[in-house]
Amino acid sequence: MNSEILGTILIFLITLLLAYPLGKYIAKVFAGEKTITNFLNPLERFFFRICGINPNESMNWKQFLKAMLTINMLWLVYAFFTLVFQDKLPLNPDGNPGQTPDLAFNTAISFLVNCNLQHYSGESGLTYFTQLFVITFLQFVSAATGIAALVALLNAFKEKTTQNLGNFWNYFVKSITRLLLPLSIVVAIILAFNGTPASFDGKDTITTLQGDTVQVSRGPAAGMIAIKQLGTNGGGWFGVNSAHPLENPNYITNAVETISILLIPIALVFALGFYLNKRKLANVIFGVMTFLFVIFCAINIYYETKGNPTFDNLGIVQTAGSMEGKEVRLGAAATAFWSVATTSTSNGSVNGMHDSLTPVSGGIILLDMMINALYGGVGVGILNYVIFIIIAVFISGLMVGRTPEFMGHKVEAREVKIAALITLLSAFLIKGFTALAAYMVAHHPDIAWQVKPEAWLNNPSYHGFSEMLYEYTSANANNGSGFEGLSDNNIFWNISTGIILLLGRFLPIIAPIAIAGLLAKKKFIPDSPGTLRVDSVTFGVMTLAVILILTALSYLPALALGPIAEFLSM
């Protein structure tokens, strides 16, 4: 057990050692400085030329958002119709059917918004064509969209006064060619050499040691799994995700995939410091995020390696920890660590079943997604964190009796209102839709859903409520993991979570960019003795307090009805 815990510590330390130089590299790429990938310039110029794009054309915040949103809507239409008619397209050796319109609606939105919530079973719900040309494609472009949005926000604060947030298309293309694609190739090669399939063959017939004959799905999985982790996408080629022995064959691949989940989100925090030449600010942000991350990891590892108290009451010794829903080849500590890593980064992949986590661990990852501002999805984690910074700056200004300022610009009513609305929106979406689902389960309305509400839940009482709360929390946080005791492939869940996915993705991107754009064009105010320093430990503690207080006020009642009540009842 001690070696398992040591393994998680080493994985995190290796991630930090890789993230720091990667952050410096990312800052140089988007600053237009010379890097080892400058040889890709002709390829990028070719893309821009055939698309009629001037990558040096400046954009204000409205133009930037217009470019981002219009291309995303185009991808949504493309993905929807491809999924519906996938059975009529090539690369379908297993003869999988097309998706129903409501499922295609949910799937297209889910992967468009970097959430990857799956209401289908990976290998049987998609063909090789849609796995590659819809799912893998969207995993690249959704991650690149998040990174481009972050660079726009950084540009707003790089100059004293500006309306130029850079060019969306330039940052979008470079995010793929200079960062996501090269790293994905490296990770895919590691996975392929460790046993992850990378062929176009259909199912294989395998005879087990017991003499049973089973059909095992295969396919070009390695490349998709690489970008799903590096782009904080989540999802899985196989239905049980990275708990599948072909998607995550051994402890080496588990370590590589875990590092891949955390690597770019952490590197982007360091990149912020290099790009803006404000390393103290980056260190404060990193410190607050890491403080919560380490605490959450410690809690989950403790409770999962300790074992299930119900078994303790029966006198059953659990030397390996709580192993329900976990892979023996990985262990309880590795699954506990992964559960926090995946929910801290809006990744959503799993190497064990979250529905089987002990109540405290399940509550922690719910809380993690409700905060939704630790390392976060690539790019958008920092965007979400900026919302808390604006609120912390406003409250601090009230406390000292002066107009709040951030990065040399006055934070006024308009910016604070936007930040407050986004904070309230998340709580409204999660609790409002969970209440609706709970009402339907309790009252069994006679509605012709594909699955009756009373059949949605495989678990009663507190855990059943947690399953529904988790689904909407995951959708709002663009996470994608789930408490899979919930039967979610029906019209109600497909449509309702699809709506939350769109709102939970784009409004928290639009709001910080709008705030940054509004602040950037204001008159720059030089630092003075009375200026609130946002790169100080004191402000970091203030931001931490704001995060914890707002999250507790918003979600504690809901958590009390689910995981907290379940823990107290055991």
pLDDT in tens, 520-554: 988 888 877 767 788 899 999 999 999 999 999 99
Burial of 547 by CB count in 10 Å (0-12 exposed, 13-18 middle, 19+ buried)?
buried
CA distances from 223 to 136, 256, 494 (A): 8, 14, 27
Cα separation, 105 vs 425, whole angstroms: 22
Tokens read off for 159: 């100059």
Backbone angles phi, psi at 405, to 5 degrees: -135, 150
Residues 6+ positions from 119 with CB-CB distance below 8 Å? 103, 106, 107, 488, 489, 493, 494, 497
pLDDT at 524: 87
Arithmetic mean of pLDDT, 136-162: 93
pLDDT at 447: 61
Q: Which of 265, 536, 539 is nearest to 389 (CA)?
A: 539
Tokens read off for 229: 């982790």
pLDDT at 379: 86
pLDDT at residue 346 tops 60 = yes
Cα separation, 322 vs 68, whole angstroms: 44
User: Do 505 and 113 form a contact (C-beta atoms < 8 A)?
Assistant: yes
Tokens read off for 372: 């939704």
Cα separation, 361 vs 339, whole angstroms: 9
The DSSP letter of residue 405 is E
pLDDT digits (tens, 9 = 90+) for 362-405: 999 999 999 999 998 898 989 999 999 999 999 988 887 777 88
pLDDT digits (tens, 9 = 90+) for 122-145: 888 999 999 999 999 999 999 999
pLDDT at residue 104 tops 90 = yes
Arithmetic mean of pLDDT, 277-281: 95
pLDDT at 225: 96
User: Can you spell out the DSSP letters for 472-512?
Assistant: HHHHHTT-----TTB---SHHHHHHHHHHHHHHHHHHHHHH
CA atoms 4, 559, 292, 142: torsion sign: positive
As a whole number, the mean pLDDT across the chain is: 91
pLDDT tier, 408 (very low <50, low <70, confident <90, very high otherwise):
confident
Ranking 94-98, 216-220, 502-506 by mean pLDDT, the lowest is 216-220
Residues paired with residue 486 on neighbouring β-strands, in sequence order:
457
SS3 526: coil
Residues paired with residue 215 on neighbouring β-strands, in sequence order:
205
Pairing of strands 213-216, 405-406: unpaired
pLDDT tier, 289 (very low <50, low <70, confident <90, very high otherwise):
very high
CA dihedral 504, 508, 511, 514 (to 10 degrees): -120
Tokens read off for 334: 């590795």
CA atoms 370, 374, 380, 385: torsion sign: positive
pLDDT digits (tens, 9 = 90+) for 215-253: 888 889 999 999 999 999 988 999 899 999 999 999 999
The residue whose two tokens read 């297209």 is 108
Backbone angles phi, psi at 138, to 5 degrees: -65, -30
pLDDT tier, 450 (very low <50, low <70, confident <90, very high otherwise):
low
Pairing of strands 204-207, 409-410: unpaired
Cα separation, 535 vs 405, whole angstroms: 13
Arithmetic mean of pLDDT, 419-438: 93
User: Do 501 and 473 form a contact (C-beta atoms < 8 A)?
Assistant: no
Q: Which of 297, 363, 353 is nearest to 326 (CA)?
A: 353
Rounded to the nearest 10 degrees, the angle between the axes of helix 380-400 and helix 137-158 is 30
Q: Which of 520, 547, 545 is nearest to 407 (CA)?
A: 520
CA 3 to chain centre: 28
Residues 6+ positions from 311 with CB-CB distance below 8 Å? 318, 322
pLDDT at residue 446 tops 70 = no
Tokens read off for 341: 């890593």
CA atoms 296, 298, 302, 304: torsion sign: positive
Cα separation, 339 vs 344, whole angstroms: 9
The residue whose two tokens read 């529905």 is 355
Burial of 419 by CB count in 10 Å (0-12 exposed, 13-18 middle, 19+ buried)?
buried
Question: What distance separates the 2 farthest-apart alpha carbons in the chain?
Answer: 78
Burial 74-108 (b: 16+ CB within 10 A, else e): ebbebbbebbbebeeeeebeeebebbbebbbbbbb
**What are the residue boundaries of the structural domains of the chain, listed by start?**
384-569
Q: Which of 130, 71, 69 is nearest to 103 (CA)?
A: 130
Q: What is the 3-state secondary structure (H, E, C) of 10-22?
A: HHHHHHHHHHHHH
HSE (CB half, 13 Å, CA atoms) of 365? 38
Burial of 385 by CB count in 10 Å (0-12 exposed, 13-18 middle, 19+ buried)?
buried
Residue 412 CB coordination number (10 Å): 14
Backbone angles phi, psi at 205, to 5 degrees: -90, 120
